[in-house]
Amino acid sequence: MCSIMSYCGSVADYDLFLKGFENTVSRGPDDSRIVDTGNGLLAYHRLAIMELSPRGMQPFKLGSSYVICNGEVYGFQRIKEELSANYTFETDSDCEVLLPMYMEYGTDMFAMLDAEFACVIYDGETGGFIAARDPIGIRPLYYGYDKNGVIVFASEPKNLVGLVEEIRPFPPGHFYKDGTFTCYCDIADVPAVCHDDLETVCKNIHDKLIAGVEKRMVSDAKVGFLLSGGLDSSLVCAIAARDSKEPIKTFAIGMSEDAIDLKYAKQVAGYIGSDHHEVIFTKEQVLDSLEGLIRMLGTFDITTIRASMGMYHVCKAVHETTDIRVLLTGEISDELFGYKYTDFAPDAEAFQKESQKRVRELHMYDVLRADRCIADNSLEARVPFGDLDFVKYVMSVDPELKLNRYGKGKYLLRHAFEEGDYLPEEILWREKAAFSDAVGHSMVDYLKEYAEEVYKDGEWEKLCEKYTHARPFTKESLLYREIFEKYYPGQSGMIKDFWMPNREWEGCDVDDPSARVLSNYGDSGK
């Protein structure tokens, strides 16, 4: 996944910078380098994915300019061809194209990229620093200002603790230059609604998702797949299995007591012919790993922490038992096609606004979870449902078509793959289950029980009162917040609030983020 960090001034406390940088070596265990530009520092931990030789090590240099990038640039071969008349490329790395692009197009380059990325460019001509992040925020980037007023960029908050006063997420779809953040792409914005008919919409969803999966299978390192047995990850795996010359490797996880998803994942694996692996985790592992998990995540959010438990442990198993370096996942489908709670949307306009909100906040919740769980285990995440062409199209589709008026959520996605025998009917039309519940209902129950043991009745409410931002409202949420504050004191502003259903909608005024508490959950968790 790689880790980047940059101090954009000439008065850096090198030892303090190095201490922060070393906190994310797991993101890039293959090699590390810090370059002093004369006007600031650029640092890079490498996880070798493309161009596995040492030539792929960053920063890349062109003239007096440098770039560091945590990312994948899709279609970089075409970009190389377009620029080859004026530039000589020395590696097969996708990120080598970034500096030539900057020389040719300046900051206009960011809107041209089909990529999951976070990068910092040092412009040797001006002595300035430019930073940018992909439109969804799939690759992490944070910033803050030190005591000298110098801006510092880093892949994770833990790089910046003690170095800057206030840590903030770098806004997705923006670039920074000359002290200003500029939006180059609001991925959730819809300039014009697409009024394609149902069948045309589904045909486009089908084709664009396949393209998104296929481009993410291009890697010099070995690729694997997370498979929950739910619709989203199952579709990604099914498409990949057809595109692969040999059986793909799939991984599923569940609690030792009541794993719901494992049976469905096994069914999908058998159907698509994958080389399938199951990981079982226990109550003891859940509780023993909780504090470390929250430190790793850098969040207090309830649903993010719950859902990270299973994801972290399956990624840990992949790292420890295989030579896989890249994992494809099923994130971002829910934000586009709907959660269980969006069945309660009062009208199409409300559905669209909620979808836009969720997409814009992805980097604080589901995307954050996937990044940390995968990267902390020295793996790279790739997210086909986050393909820019796919997201832009689905967001533009008339929301009247996306409302659940079909008796089944995510109907457009299901119908798009109804033909072609991609999945068993039972899986294609399976009700959506919350991931944190589907690894086993017992997991969430264990966490709640533990919180009950930590706090006595009558005491915890007072402890909640000291928090003004995102105040905890249950013993479980207080437990997470206190652990978070231990490692990120006073930095709760990194996360907007607790992820919750839209409580303003009828049927959604609940006190727990799990879809399990909704009246329409039905057979989802069976």
> What's the one-letter identity of residue 190?
V
CATH class entry, domain 3-183: alpha beta
Place of tokens 């969804």: 136
* pLDDT exceeds cutoff 90 at 520: no
Predicted local confidence at residue 514, as pLDDT = 81
Under 8 Å between Cβ of 395 and 243: no
Query: Looking at domain 198-517, what is its CATH homologous superfamily?
Result: HUPs (3.40.50.620)
Q: How far apart are CA 500 and CA 354, in angstroms?
A: 12
Of residues 431, 229, 441, 427, the one with CA closest to residue 340: 431
Q: How far are the Cα atoms of 230, 273, 313, 319, 425 from residue 422, in angstroms, in the given order?
A: 13, 12, 28, 28, 9
Cα dihedral sign for 371, 377, 380, 384?
A: negative
What mean pLDDT value characterizes the chain? 94
Which of 332-346, 434-448, 479-493 has the weakest average pLDDT? Answer: 434-448
Q: What percent of the chain has pLDDT over 70?
A: 98
Residue 506 dihedral angles phi and psi, to the nearest 5°:
-60, 130
**Across 55-82, average pLDDT:** 95
Q: How far apart are CA 155 and CA 24, in angstroms?
A: 8
**Domain residue ranges of the chain, discontinuous segments joined by +:** 3-183, 198-517
Predicted local confidence at residue 518, as pLDDT = 82
pLDDT digits (tens, 9 = 90+) for 314-330: 999 999 999 999 999 99
| pTM of the predicted structure, to 2 decimals | 0.95
Q: How far apart are CA 178 and CA 476, in angstroms?
A: 43
DSSP state of 211: H
- Tell me the longest C-alpha to C-alpha distance in the chain: 72
Which residues, in sequence order, are CB contacts of 130 under 8 Å at separation 6+?
102, 107, 120, 121, 123, 175, 176, 177
DSSP state of 229: S
Six token digits for residue 75: 């279609």
pLDDT digits (tens, 9 = 90+) for 199-227: 999 999 999 999 999 999 999 999 999 99
Name the band, by pLDDT with cuts 50, 70 and 90, for residue 436. low
Predicted local confidence at residue 437, as pLDDT = 67
**Across 249-262, average pLDDT:** 89
Place of tokens 């396949």: 210
Residue 168 dihedral angles phi and psi, to the nearest 5°:
-135, 145
Name the band, by pLDDT with cuts 50, 70 and 90, for residue 516. confident
Q: Which helix (H) or strand (E) holds 32?
A: strand 31-36
**Across 247-254, average pLDDT:** 96
Tell me whether residue 508 is one of the annotated catalytic residues: no
Q: How far apart are CA 236 and CA 156, in angstroms?
A: 28
Beta strands in 115-162 (DSSP E): 115-123, 128-133, 142-145, 151-154
Under 8 Å between Cβ of 133 and 118: yes
Secondary structure class of 5 (helix, strand, coil) = strand
Under 8 Å between Cβ of 127 and 155: no
Sheet holding 223-226, edge to edge: 275-281, 249-255, 223-226, 326-328, 380-382
Six token digits for residue 148: 């000298």
Total residues belonging to the chain: 526
Predicted local confidence at residue 234, as pLDDT = 97
Under 8 Å between Cβ of 138 and 331: no
Q: How far apart are CA 465 and CA 454, in angstroms?
A: 17
Asked if residue 191 has a cis previous peptide bond (ω within 30° of 0), the answer is no
Q: Which helix (H) or strand (E) holds 503?
A: none
pLDDT digits (tens, 9 = 90+) for 22-33: 999 999 999 999
Secondary structure class of 504 (helix, strand, coil) = coil
Name the band, by pLDDT with cuts 50, 70 and 90, for residue 526. low
Predicted local confidence at residue 522, as pLDDT = 62
Q: How far apart are CA 391 and CA 185, in angstroms?
A: 12
- Strand-pairing partners, residue 279, are 253
pLDDT digits (tens, 9 = 90+) for 144-187: 999 999 999 999 999 999 999 999 999 999 999 999 999 999 99
pLDDT digits (tens, 9 = 90+) for 357-400: 999 999 999 999 999 999 999 999 999 999 999 999 999 999 99
